[in-house]
Amino acid sequence: MSDTTVVLVGAFALLGLGWYGLMTTRHLMKMIAILQIMVKAVLLLLIAAGNASGQPSLAQSLAVGVIVADTMVTVVALALAVQLYQHCQTMDIREFARLKG
């Protein structure tokens, strides 16, 4: 198997595990961590596609941009999760559906 094939199989495995994790957990912090794993899998796919097309520098620069944006989104999500925990005293997303206002 070539290196690209191994990366593709690993990335799709991470995506599958992430999807399974999102479907089975109700804990908000776990969901944020699982989304991070899925984003990293997409980054692997992006870099593998860039290497396969002969433009690895373009793929790497796009990956850096995605990492920066992903970090900002994660910081905001974690801040909101902390605020929700302080308000509701739980991280179960089913409880958040009862919030009003």
Residues 33 and 18 sit within 8 Å (Cβ to Cβ): no
Residues 6+ apart with CB under 8 A from 52: 4
Q: Look up the pTM and report it.
A: 0.89
CATH topology of domain 3-96: Helix Hairpins (1.10.287)
34: exposed, middle or buried (Cβ count in 10 Å: 0-12, 13-18, 19+): buried
Which pLDDT score is estimated for 49?
Answer: 92
How confident is the model over 18-27, as pLDDT tens digits?
Answer: 999 999 999 9
